[in-house]
Amino acid sequence: MAFAIMTMTDAAAIRVREIVANRADEGALGVRVGIKKGGCAGMEYTVDLVTEPNAADDHITHADANVWVDPAAMLYLLGTQMDFEVTKLRAGFVFNNPNQSSACGCGESVELKPADLKELAEARGQV
């Protein structure tokens, strides 16, 4: 199996496929995950519709669902599992990220540290 920056659960794959099906008329192929500066903890995850993949993005698939990862976010997302959960108060993607050091009280923003480059090389079998 090839190395992937992120993985996704069955629940996340189901939700990505639903998004693509609901936006098929717009040419939806999947979603793109990234991060941006913002929120009280410093960073926020982004999930955007993909109609035209960026060749520089890392592409992951699971159960016929397509997710692309922004190259600028890769060091922050290394080892992350993308999930989808529905609770009484919200429904949305959840990121189980080993690089997350803290989160704000509302859970919308996080503090992330970049993954170690040596660990990344070892994970890819390059060391």
Indicate the SS3 state at residue 116. Answer: coil
The reported pLDDT for the residue numbered 70 is: 95
pTM above 0.85, yes or no: no
pLDDT digits 0-9 by tens, 66-84 = 999 999 998 888 889 999 9
**pLDDT tens across 5-24, in order?**
899 999 999 999 999 999 99
Average pLDDT over residues 26-42: 85
The residue with greater pLDDT, 88 or 102, is 88
Torsion region of 38: left, alpha or beta (phi above 0 gives left; psi -120 to 50 gives alpha): left
- 104-109 contact pairs (CB < 8 A, 24+): 104/39, 104/40, 104/41, 108/39, 108/44, 109/38, 109/39, 109/40, 109/41, 109/42, 109/43, 109/44
Question: Residue type at 112?
Answer: L
Among 59-63, 93-97, 99-103, name the most confident range: 59-63
The yes-or-no verdict on residue 2 having pLDDT over 90 is no
